[in-house]
Amino acid sequence: MAQLIDGKRISQEIKDELKEKVASLKERGKTAALAVIQVGNDPASCVYVGNKKKACEYIGIGSVSYEMPEETKEEALLALIDKLNEDTAVNGILVQLPLPSHICEDKVIEAISPQKDVDGFHPQNVGRLAIGKKGFVSCTPAGIVQLLKRSGIEIAGKNCVVVGRSNIVGKPMALLMLRENATVTIAHSKTRNLKDTCRQADILIVAIGKPQFITAEYIKEGAVVIDVGIHRDGANRLCGDVKYDEVAKLASAITPVPGGVGPMTIAMLMNNCVETML
Ligand code: NDP
């Protein structure tokens, strides 16, 4: 049976390290505050925003909430972001996605100052990642690299297949694995022979957004499998993009859902917030 990659334990380890770092930065007079903006009250977003605020409290940084109604005009949101960009007491700005459909997400992401973009979504930060320069990195992919490293899994020289090419997971994930010297393939909905492509992977990272899509047939024996997906199955239990029970029998290591990639996203958001204090 595969080694379980324990995101719950590793994310706690990271948050505890950050808590210590924040305490020593505070002794040197440095502080940080994260502005969290939510538009509307999508239940999942409320849970995510609540968890982010709790994590700030845990590691010892401030958070200021802006809860805006669903019908908020795009201009009003952009004006708030402008104000926060100028506010020297705010080091990080996070706009919870998705936004209501009348607001253009790209415009909002581009309005956030790249120096305060703790989600790492601004094109300037994505560009810096692409050319190997320092900048904020998208939290979920950064968390996956930490999961691998802290589980003792070597990345350099390995064949890594990333399934999914979204701007927030698949693409930055592929860039990060390249930075870590893996040989990287990106697969997507137009990929021919997805099974064969996946079976080449020493490290398979799945961010498709389709419940239990990846079965044992996609796995090379001994592969490391990282499951980014989060869904509810027919019995309302959380599950991922990977059919865990059958894949775990073939893989050498695997992330569970829940308790794998999920908790790492917030830990890495906190890491980005602490970076703003340095
Ligand atoms: P998107 O829907 O934006 O992207 C899905 C990607 O999967 C697309 O690139 C798409 O290809 C590809 N894809 C879809 N169907 C197939 C298929 N049959 N074969 C191959 N590729 C396919 O999703 P996200 O990247 O935003 O998220 C993916 C999953 O991860 C979701 O379940 C989401 O909930 C979860 N997630 C979890 C996070 C966490 O913290 N754990 C954070 C973010 C996301 P194409 O581009 O060709 O359409």
Res 135 pLDDT > 90: yes
pLDDT given at position 230: 95
Mean pLDDT of the chain: 97
Locus of tokens 């029970």? 245
CA 102, CA 181: separation in Å to the nearest integer? 41
pLDDT digits (tens, 9 = 90+) for 82-110: 999 999 999 999 999 999 999 999 999 99
DSSP line for 70-134: TT--HHHHHHHHHHHHH-TT--EEEEPSSPPTTS-HHHHHHHS-GGG-TT--SHHHHHHHHTT--
Q: Give residue-wise pLDDT tens across range 29-45.
A: 999 899 999 999 999 99
Q: 260 and 240 in contact (C-beta within 8 Å)?
A: yes
List, in order, residues 6 or more apart from 43 with CB less than 8 Å away: none
CA 135 to chain centre: 15
d(CA 209, CA 213): 9
CA–CA separation, 270 and 34 (whole Å): 9
Ligand 1 pocket, mutate which of 228, 257, 269 (most atoms under 8 A from CB): 228
Which pTM does this prediction carry?
Answer: 0.97
Pocket test for ligand 1, best of 139, 185, 208, 242 (most atoms within 8 A of CB): 208
Res 1: pLDDT: 82
Single out the catalytic residue among 38, 52, 146, 171.
52
Q: What pLDDT is recorded for position 103?
A: 98
